[in-house]
Structure 1
Amino acid sequence: MNTSITNSATPKAGLVWVVIALALGTFALGTTEFASMTMVPYIAENLGVGVEHVSYAISAYALGVVVGSPIIMVMTVRVRRRKLLLILTAAMAIANGLSALSPSLGWLVFFRFLSGLSHGAYFGTAMLLAASLVPSTMKARVMSQVFLGLTIATIAGVPLATWMGQNIGWRWSFVMVTLLFIMAAIMIYVFAPNPPAKEGASPLKELETLKSREVWYTLGIAAIGGGGLFCVYTYLSETLRQVTHAPAAWIPIMMVIFGLGSTIGNLISGWAADKSTMKAALFILIFSAIVLAIYPSAAGSLITLVPVVFLIGCSIGLAAIIQPRLMDIAPEGQAMAGALVQCAFNLANAIGPWAGSLVITAGFSIADTGYAASFLSVCGLVMWWLAMREGKKKALQPER
């Protein structure tokens, strides 16, 4: 691993500018993924379909991530990372541009699926490139800085895209995302280093990663433990309306508060993960379980809900912990590990809302989704324990 960016970067690029370039791509990804959820009613009205049908486009994006991430990452292990990032940003610019031109819901669903295909591969490749430019003691920190683009998207990109959807049309939000990806591609071309692909890399070596139980348990921490955050986030707007009885203007404000928590939590988690990834994961899971359990009681008043939503946002830092952990336990399959992390978090994005829907359909208050969310964090703790046990068993095995 390179110990300095000067070993692999072009002279005109510094680490800060590389990270900014990569983070601009994650900012665009965060905007297109989360803003799509907030624009569902405007898309439904414009295309003349039910709100429940527009959700197919959200699911199609997530399916694209799950399908595309492992395939692209494994099949491109011999491609230079800067070249791959440029291909991925171009593909996402085109797919989001086509989403803006969708003449019907069917075409929108298809184009959102295409948009999701490159999502996980971009994240995985950007994280691996950033980590390769710093000493091992700093890799989690620099990866969290790349991920910072997504958390900032919840503060700035998503509210702006939502405003555009409300006032000038949902299509323009996808146009904005398209322009962001074009800007990201330009900055990556100018500032990102272009080291050769890892010597000896092959798809078969990457697939060996799938044999490790520790890898699967670690992914389980993200897929199940991370689902709690999405369980609450998905129904936050309706909770504000039905339970808190807050004015409509408070919905985007609360999203910004959540985003601020996400940004701070992500940075702290990256720092903590450089000290000990599994201890940091344990803390976040316990912290999430407690805060999410408090959420239903806090939902009745803005005074109590604001700080709780901020703290819930902080738990998104789990993503900055799982990625470097997988790099440590799967050194020969880092491309596959990077892809699987994105699959796991998109699975969390499916599990969380589903768990919340069970609470609502059972007749409980929409704020009670916090209890289901807390339970998911506790289940994440079980996966953490299994991963730790598997790691200890592996450490006791004699080397072959």
Structure 2
Amino acid sequence: MKTPLSSHTKLEKNSHWSAVFSLFMGVTSLISAEFIPISLLTPIAQTLNITEGMAGQTVTAVGIFAVLASLMLAPLTQNINRRLVLLTLSILLVIANILVAFTPNYTILLMGRSILGICVGGFWSMASAVTLQLVSEKNLPRALSTIYAGVSVATIISLPLASYLGNLIGWRTIFLLSALLGGIAFIWQFIALPSLPAQQGNSFKNMFLLLKQRWITLGIVATILSYGGYHILFTYLRPFLEHNLALATNTLSTILLLFGIANCIGTVIAGFVMGKQFKTTMILVHFILLILAVIFMFSHTNKTMSILLIIAWGLMFGFIPVGWSTWIVRTLADKAEMMGGLSVAAIQFSIGLAAAIGGFIFDNKGMQGIFFSSALIFLFALILIKLSFWLFNRITGQSLT
């Protein structure tokens, strides 16, 4: 039995699909802006006379402020219409990119990236709750997959495309183009988004009271492990392609492009299957990722097999963001904003932790250690997912289909 929506989230018969696609554009703009520096570290560092490590910290800054915004935005704006909040975040995204594009020094660069972090955390924390108000319950997984497809498209923009164009037109122009993309998203949202009343009870106290429920805490930890198992490998994907597989630059860019396309396809497929077989799909996806990591361990010297595994890895990850968002709206629809904040904080923490732990493992054990760690993390994630689902059924008397 599905958890019923609370009265203020019951929807009109007509779904706002244009608004959903405007949020897809917003996500594409946000995530591409977040990860563009990964492809442009060297030219940014050379222009501003800083080290590549310092340039890399601009990605870390986004993560830190995203965590803070995801936890604080819903309680601090609990009486403000979500349409206004989303439009404000979209304008700030444009400002952040312009600041970076024209930055004269490292301080302004960090300032622009910190503003972007607020946009990322705030936007993501409200995505699930806002989607509840835009489409009917039966269309939720498809709408969420549409929005999260923006992550896949952003992967293509921020990795191979930004790297290629950056060499042609310069990194500052890339950020101006990112600002333009954000401006298009803002205009679309301004036209398409209806009034979106805030959910009631969005206080700091209520947010952290959620964590007293064991099945929620287990689900949050499983979310950390789920994203961590993926990102510990994804973070070191390029060094693996360059050094272990010895791929040429053009071939490497092609593989990253195929990876992004596969990720997008996985997200779209997830939108169709999560609505019908959510529980089974979540368990199966994590099991497949576990098996892929194990296969990596024994076939990483085979170039063709490794490339196929990388594409499969991208395909399967497309299910994870859609899956965890569906979990929120299926189990806690009337608290989706607070759960969204906790979830985004968990995800950003997971990405940072995976990069830090992965760096130590990569330096000491190489890619074999990365593959083993990823498999182990997914094993624990799988156990906690099953336990969280079981406790939800036992405590609430409801089952997840």
TM-score normalised by L of structure 2: 0.89
Return closer, same or farther for 1:87/1:355 CA change in 2, 3 Å cut-off. same
What's 1:10 paired with? none
Preserved CA contact (<8 Å) 1:100 1:175:
yes
The correspondence of residues 134-173 of structure 1 with structure 2, limited to 5 A, is 134-173=135-174
| In 2: Cα distance, 1:243 partner to 1:195 partner | 50
C-alpha displacement of 1:383: 2.0
Preserved CA contact (<8 Å) 2:130 2:196:
no
Return closer, same or farther for 1:260/1:111 CA change in 2, 3 Å cut-off. same
What's 1:380 paired with? 381
Could you report, residue by residue, the CA deviation over 1:336-364 in whole angstroms, capped at 9, with x for unpaired residues?
111222222212212322332232222x3
| In 2: Cα distance, 1:290 partner to 1:377 partner | 9
Tell me, what secondary structure is at the counterpart of 2:23?
helix
What's 1:306 paired with? 307
Return closer, same or farther for 1:133/1:2 CA change in 2, 3 Å cut-off. farther
What's 2:45 paired with? 44
| In 1: Cα distance, 2:67 partner to 2:84 partner | 22
Preserved CA contact (<8 Å) 1:240 1:251:
yes
Mean alpha-carbon deviation: is it higher for 144-153 or for 31-40?
31-40
The correspondence of residues 77-226 of structure 1 with structure 2, limited to 5 A, is 77-198=78-199, 200-203=200-203, 204-226=205-227
Out of 316, 324, 327, which is 2:326 matched to? 324
Preserved CA contact (<8 Å) 1:281 1:321:
yes
C-alpha displacement of 1:381: 1.4
What's 2:5 paired with? none
What's 2:55 paired with? 54
Runs (5+) with no aligned partner, structure 1: 7-13
What's 2:261 paired with? 260
Could you report, residue by residue, the CA deviation over 1:53-111 in whole angstroms, capped at 9, with x for unpaired residues?
22221111111111111211222232222211101101111122112222222332232
The correspondence of residues 364-379 of structure 1 with structure 2, limited to 5 A, is 364-366=365-367, 368-379=369-380
| In 2: Cα distance, 1:228 partner to 1:157 partner | 21
| In 1: Cα distance, 2:330 partner to 2:214 partner | 14
The correspondence of residues 16-31 of structure 1 with structure 2, limited to 5 A, is 16-31=17-32
CA RMSD of superposed structures (Å): 2.2
C-alpha displacement of 1:396: 5.7
Could you report, residue by residue, the CA deviation over 1:362-398 in whole angstroms, capped at 9, with x for unpaired residues?
2x3335422211211112113213312431341369x
Return closer, same or farther for 1:4/1:250 CA change in 2, 3 Å cut-off. farther
| In 1: Cα distance, 2:139 partner to 2:39 partner | 35
Runs (5+) with no aligned partner, structure 2: 1-8
C-alpha displacement of 1:224: 1.1
| In 2: Cα distance, 1:116 partner to 1:66 partner | 8
Preserved CA contact (<8 Å) 2:35 2:158:
no
Preserved CA contact (<8 Å) 1:206 1:334:
no
Count of aligned positions: 388
Residue identity in the other structure for 1:347 = F
| In 2: Cα distance, 1:166 partner to 1:196 partner | 45
C-alpha displacement of 1:298: 3.9
What's 1:63 paired with? 64
The correspondence of residues 223-238 of structure 1 with structure 2, limited to 5 A, is 223-238=224-239
C-alpha displacement of 1:299: 3.5
Preserved CA contact (<8 Å) 1:263 1:314:
yes
C-alpha displacement of 1:148: 0.9
Residue identity in the other structure for 2:134 = L
Residue identity in the other structure for 2:350 = A
| In 2: Cα distance, 1:202 partner to 1:302 partner | 50
Preserved CA contact (<8 Å) 1:258 1:310:
yes
Preserved CA contact (<8 Å) 2:17 2:135:
no
Preserved CA contact (<8 Å) 2:283 2:386:
no
| In 2: Cα distance, 1:276 partner to 1:208 partner | 29
Could you report, residue by residue, the CA deviation over 1:279-303 in whole angstroms, capped at 9, with x for unpaired residues?
2221111111111222244433442
Could you report, residue by residue, the CA deviation over 1:126-174 in whole angstroms, capped at 9, with x for unpaired residues?
3322232323222122111111111112234543322232232222222
Preserved CA contact (<8 Å) 2:228 2:354:
yes
Residue identity in the other structure for 1:134 = V
Out of 336, 348, 353, which is 1:334 matched to? 336
Residue identity in the other structure for 1:354 = A
What's 2:77 paired with? 76
Q: Are 2:391 and 1:390 equivalent residues in the alignment?
A: yes
Mean alpha-carbon deviation: is it higher for 251-260 or for 47-56?
47-56
| In 2: Cα distance, 1:116 partner to 1:277 partner | 31
